[in-house]
Structure 1
Amino acid sequence: MQKVMAIVSSLVLAPAILMSAPASAALDWDTALKGKHRSEKNAARDEFRHPRETLEFFGLAEDMTVVELSPGGGWYTEVLAPLLRESGSYYAAHNSPNGGAYSRRSLGSYLKKLGEEDDIYGAVTVTTLGPADSVVIAPAGSADMVLAFRNIHSWMRAGTLANTLLVAYDALKPGGVFGVVQHRAKDGRDPERMKATGYVSEDYIIAAARSVGFELDARSDVNANPKDTGDYADGVWELPPSLRTADENREARMAVGESDRMTLKFVKPAS
């Protein structure tokens, strides 16, 4: 009888044990970070961008619906698409095909990338971030997570930051996460200087996010770089990977590495 009760107890307790496992336990990090689809150039940036640690901080799980805003050339697409392809959904909110020459070139390169690795990117849904009066990045209230990687300054320059934050808020479920990684300026920097340099202060982003309804949930220094002074004449683009700097400064900028970055986790209130 004691043996039977022990078996029954183990069956009853098993679900609780499974429920206590980390949310990211089933994520296929080996394929996402080391798969043949990743370019060597992009993989070399992992030491500065910490994709696994960053996404785990935001709380990524394999069955989530995730929207990435302005994915550019697809650096994070290489990581997110294979993580979500089996059980989740990945929306890439990219440029408008009617947004001008640069927008078309960027979108075209991105679509070409997706088409070359259908087994990895076949389930990616590409949506449009713009124009402001017609943007739908994902069905309203459908996303568990919306992510913005190093592009707040671009929306500031374009005058679309407030609208972009609003559409992110609308796409999220109540309780959903808005994750931000951004080149970090000291608090109090003039917004025009932020636009020019790419470095944005935490207080500015937090205030902007709160203005549309987000609540700050947590901060992480996973992408911090104390070597970065953030005071370069041509802004963050003097550092790798852009390295738009004079030859005499190149070695020093390489020694710094990529920029110092804030990593902020916001939530859409549950009620």
Structure 2
Amino acid sequence: MQKLTALISSLVLAPALLIATPALAALDWDTALNGKQRSEKNAARDGFRHPRETLEFFGIQEGMTVVELSPGGGWYTEVLAPLLKEKGSYYAAHNSPNGGAYSRRSLGSYLKKLGEDNDTYGNVTVTTLGPADSVVIAPAGTADMVLAFRNVHSWMRGDTLANTLLVAYDALKEGGVFGVVQHRAKDGRDPERMKATGYVSEDYIIAAARSVGFVLDARSEVNANPKDSGDYEDGVWELPPSLRTADENKEARMAVGESDRMTLKFVKPAS
């Protein structure tokens, strides 16, 4: 009789408990993907880059502190800034103003973009991702998520990959996510060829991330493209959107679309 009474009580109380548990707030994906801040050129890449599916795979939620490494011209900034504008924090760890002519041009263009739309980007915090060991992309242990989109080959070229992974690790909270999207080479490719082509193998990135303490949590094929052979003489830049290829190859490269990409989710474990 006591067991029956306990069971009835649990069934009666369960709905009340469910009602008392707040649901996660919905992110404003409509503004992030279709708002005035999106350039037509950038929005046209959504079919290849799948920003919503990618960020949801990494686990983005309202109120998070998110760091993007090397945001370049701000393709993902157009999506992340409005998602985190009202509740959350977005750090853009860009080039050093003392990193040379290319670094200054890239950073200058990015700052100009932010300055021209303060309503969208007024809360973006720009930090520096540089080669020095002392660089801080966000206060230590505060980030819920650090993201890297198609940049690993550049860090390999500059011999800054290890340091970049370390500063990402330091910025994250325990349990925080390090999300990587990168042009994908077949496992075992020579690192020098990776630098030259932009295609990096999964085994190389996983080993590098593990070497600083990250744990591989999950993989996704959301950004995969089986049409991409990845064996172009001049690398990924022969494909859209760069299309740095001979005129006779352009139609074929357009048919391939953007590169085949790995999407890896790492976690900073509890100490």
Deviations, residues 110-144 of structure 1 (Å, cap 9, x unaligned):
00000111111000000000132331100000000
Deviations, residues 84-109 of structure 1 (Å, cap 9, x unaligned):
01110000000000111110000000
Query: What is the number of residues matched between the two proteins?
Result: 261
1:44-193 equivalent positions in 2, closer than 5 A: 44-193=44-193
Deviations, residues 221-264 of structure 1 (Å, cap 9, x unaligned):
00000000000000000000000000000000000000000000
SS of equivalent to 2:26:
coil
* Separation in 2, partners of 1:224, 1:121: 30
SS of equivalent to 2:192:
helix
Deviations, residues 16-58 of structure 1 (Å, cap 9, x unaligned):
3x34xxx5x5100000000011100000000000000000000
For structure 1, the residue ranges without an aligned partner over 5 or more in a row are: 1-5
TM-score (norm 2): 0.94
Q: Is the 8 A contact 1:239 1:257 kept in 2?
A: yes
Give, in angstroms, the shift of residue 7 of structure 1. Answer: 10
Q: Is the 8 A contact 1:132 1:160 kept in 2?
A: no
SS of equivalent to 2:19:
helix
* Separation in 1, partners of 2:132, 2:212: 16
Which residue identity does 1:229 align to in structure 2? S
Q: Is the 8 A contact 2:129 2:135 kept in 1?
A: yes
SS of equivalent to 1:114:
helix
* Separation in 1, partners of 2:187, 2:238: 21
SS of equivalent to 2:127:
strand
Deviations, residues 191-249 of structure 1 (Å, cap 9, x unaligned):
00000000000000000000000000000000000000000000000000000000000
Q: Is the 8 A contact 2:133 2:163 kept in 1?
A: no
Give, in angstroms, the shift of residue 270 of structure 1. Answer: 1.8
1:192-203 equivalent positions in 2, closer than 5 A: 192-203=192-203
* Separation in 1, partners of 2:100, 2:74: 20
The residue aligned with 1:236 is 236
* Separation in 1, partners of 2:115, 2:12: 51
SS of equivalent to 2:30:
helix
SS of equivalent to 2:146:
strand
Kindly report the root-mean-square deviation, in angstroms, between the aligned alpha carbons of the 2 structures. 1.4
Give, in angstroms, the shift of residue 10 of structure 1. Answer: 4.9
Cα 1:197/1:9, change in 2 over 3 Å? closer
* Separation in 2, partners of 1:158, 1:99: 11
SS of equivalent to 2:167:
helix
The residue aligned with 2:36 is 36
Cα 1:167/1:11, change in 2 over 3 Å? same
Which residue identity does 2:18 align to in structure 1? L
For structure 2, the residue ranges without an aligned partner over 5 or more in a row are: 1-10
Q: Give the percent of matched residue pairs that are identical in Structure 1 and Structure 2.
A: 87
Given candidates 15, 18, 23, the residue that maps to 2:20 is 15
Which residue identity does 2:40 align to in structure 1? E
* Separation in 1, partners of 2:125, 2:150: 21
Q: Is the 8 A contact 2:141 2:174 kept in 1?
A: yes
Which residue identity does 2:241 align to in structure 1? P
